Amino acid sequence: MHGIPSLIQDLALILVTAGIVTLLFKKLKQPLVLGYIMAGFIVSPNLKFTMSVVDNSNIKVWADIGVMFLLFALGLDFSFKKILKMGIAPVIAALTVIFSMMTIGITIGNAFGWSSMNGLFLAGMLAMSSTTIIYKAFDDLGLRQQQFSSLVMSVLILEDVLAIVMMVVLTTIAKGGSGDGEQMLSSLLSIVFFLVLWFVVGLFFIPIFLRKVRALINDEVLLIVALALCCGMAVCASWAGFSSAFGSFVMGSILAETIEAKKIEKLIEPVKNLFGAIFFVSVGMLVDIQVVISQWLPILVITLAIILGQSIFGTFGFMLSGQTLKTAMRCGFSLAQIGEFAFIIASLGLSLGVVADFLYPVVVTVSVITTFLTPYMIRGAVPIYNSIEKHLPMVWIRRINKISDIAPQNVDRSEGNWKPLLTQMAVNVLIYSVLTIAITSIMLTFGEDFMASLMPSGIARPMCALITVLLVAPFLRAMVMKKNKSEEFKALWTSSRHNRAPLIFTIIARGMLAIMYVFYICNHLLYYSDAIIICIAIAAISAIIYSRSMKNSSIRLERLFIQNLRSKDIAARASGKKRPLFEGRLLDRDIHISEFDVPQDSLWAGKTLAELNLAKRFGIHVSSIQRGRQHIHIPSGGDMIFPGDKLRAIGTDEQLTLLYSVLQQEQCPDDTEIEQHEMHLRRFAIREGSMLLGKSLITSELRDRYNCMLVGLEEGHDNLTTVSPTYKFEVGDILWIVGDDIDIRRLAEVI
């Protein structure tokens, strides 16, 4: 190993150990995350009997990169539009679980006499279930097609988003040394400001950029561009006072709305897997068996708190969101573990120096225990429900299930036009205010000095003020005028005279806000009295509102942004990948649509729907077949199934689960003697008594009986000639025949 840097030695040791351990865990059908953690424990200095890494600082850097790429990949799988379409029900369930588990975490910390910061970070760790582990468990148990699993995944998406926010808040509190309300509010406002700014600017420029260079991009270039955007946003987030992981998540979420999202997700996966594995190995390296033994009581208490807390409060949260007791228990029991984000939050606490060293191995140990118990918790939900149903009076069961009747999704939503109108106005004011503040800040920070370097200060400051107002003018106009001619506004205006004064007030209030922005710009740059600046601001806003060019600019910018925002959906509809609109309108709540990928080795390949008779075998209906860019709606019985097809089927949970199970089972078995099927090219000479003597190629049955192919007839030492199908073989003919090893040997016995 002389001359090899310690970095390479450590990488070799980590990957070799991780490869061996993960193969073992794969054989045992356990999550690979646990294999990485075990590999980290094996190569850590805490285990004296094995080789350990040389330089822990190198591993720390790679682990930080791993977190960055893990959250970038998470962002690619995340969509704000998906969250908005979920409605309020998953939000209620997620918030109930998070606040309940955080309360339990803080209580445990206080009970053991830990510091407030240890308790706060423990609360953050306990609040987050593992998306990766639950998804893998659903897949292994064949439950991913069932309806309750989609409810769980919706809550997990929200938990992941709130975990990002929690990391930012915890970082701010840890650096400030306190967690008072003012600091929390300041942190949340800062998060909201930069999130809106980055998403709006990113969704405006990045799709345009990718559209312009689409003809020049191949997979290699797209991977480099995606990683460049990820790292660039990570640096920007760091400059803004946030973690690099937060910036990576934001960029992934922006790219998730582009047409290239799925391709980027596929390209980034090997990079994410490599650095993610190093991160989880670094987690295992921090496990000290002595600490685990000495902290057995906290480990036991935290494990029980997660299992009981997630099961009870998770069930209660899903019931509040409108689910029956049985469905809520299946969802709540599925959440009873902690995983990736617990490690990330723990790493954050260690890097900030606010978390005790013993807490990390405790959390990792708890994660390992709860991960092993996850499949049993998922499977045990229904038997426990059946036991409860058997022992509780039926009246109580009905009353418990009636909790779903008060859930928001079952409440009449005919609330008139005021709520949607005010909501849309508030969102518009927020977005355009953020853009206005960002542009103003940039111009007052850099533009003023730049203008002063070009011209005298007496001209530079008014010119800077004019340019700044012109830059924000389209946003100020949209802030004041947008939604003033919407259907909701018109309906409210014509329905009652009492609505007109409040509607006029909404216009005046937004106009006053726009005037305040212009006043701030002019007051900072112009040496006039406040009265004159107010008049200038009013005149500027009036001119902006009545300017046709500003109106056109505002509309053009908004349309371009909306087009970029909808580009992914437009492309999905154009390629037939968009899910059908009728999916949510099925009358029976137990019937829904699921997608099934036909495996490459499926025995269904080459058969028609009529031959498979899926409706009779499983009771389901195939509504469409997606084959590459081709989309077959309402296929007939004569349509054939091909490997790689994506089937959309309609049925109940039980029917779809059975279909998935049979589809996975009915595949070509692995060839256990693949070494015997190597193709060989062999030379045969026709002798007296050969079974080919006097036969033609047609009557020889070389293909049909022996599965071999005649390549040619040798003439001289260098030439092979094609044999006519009617040519009859003679003594002395030299044939060159190709076939696999077994068939060639069978043929050699008779030729």
Task: Give backbone dihedrals phi and psi of 377, rounded to 5 degrees, phi first.
Answer: -65, -40
Strand, coil or helix: 728: strand
CB count within 10 Å of CB 222 equals: 18
CB 306 within 8 A of CB 339: no
So what's the pLDDT on residue 581? 45
Q: Could you tell me the two tokens for 17?
A: 């150990």
Q: Could you tell me the two tokens for 326?
A: 């049985």
Q: Could you tell me the two tokens for 399?
A: 């009353």
CB 337 within 8 A of CB 131: no
104-107 long-range contacts, CB within 8 A, separation 24+: 104/305, 104/309, 105/305
- The length of the chain is 751
So what's the pLDDT on residue 573? 54
pLDDT, tens digit (0-9, with 9 covering 90-100), for 564-588: 666 666 655 555 555 544 444 444 4
| Alpha carbon distance 310, 99 (integer Å) | 11
CB 366 within 8 A of CB 298: no
Residue ranges of alpha helices (H) inside 286-295 are 289-294
| Beta-carbon contacts of residue 93 (< 8 Å; ≥ 6 apart) | 151, 155, 314, 317, 318, 320, 321, 331
* Strand-pair category, 621-627 with 646-652: antiparallel
CB 145 within 8 A of CB 660: yes
So what's the pLDDT on residue 590? 61
| Adjacent-strand bridge partners of 682 | 737
Q: Could you tell me the two tokens for 142?
A: 């064949």
CA distances from 555 to 321, 481, 558, 559 (A): 39, 11, 5, 6
* Residue 628, phi-psi category: left (phi > 0), alpha (psi -120 to 50), beta (remainder): left
Q: Could you tell me the two tokens for 36?
A: 């990485």
| Beta-carbon contacts of residue 97 (< 8 Å; ≥ 6 apart) | 127, 129, 155, 159, 310, 313, 314, 317, 335
Q: Which portions of the chain are predicted below pLDDT 70?
A: 1-4, 54, 79-87, 132, 136, 139-140, 144-145, 176-187, 395-416, 457, 564-590, 670-677, 717
So what's the pLDDT on residue 159? 82
| Alpha carbon distance 368, 493 (integer Å) | 61
CB 318 within 8 A of CB 97: no
Q: What letter represents residue 513's amino acid?
A: L
Strand, coil or helix: 606: coil
CB 704 within 8 A of CB 741: no
| Alpha carbon distance 101, 122 (integer Å) | 10
What is the side-by-side strand order in the sheet with 679-685?
A: 679-685, 734-740, 709-715, 719-721
So what's the pLDDT on residue 224? 92
| Adjacent-strand bridge partners of 602 | 667
| Alpha carbon distance 320, 311 (integer Å) | 14
What is the side-by-side strand order in the sheet with 646-652?
A: 591-597, 646-652, 621-627, 630-633
| Alpha carbon distance 65, 62 (integer Å) | 5
Give the predicted TM-score (pTM) of the model.
Answer: 0.64
CB 568 within 8 A of CB 258: yes
Nearest to 192, CA basis, from 173, 170, 164, 171: 164
Tokens 């682990």 -> residue:
63
| Beta-carbon contacts of residue 262 (< 8 Å; ≥ 6 apart) | none
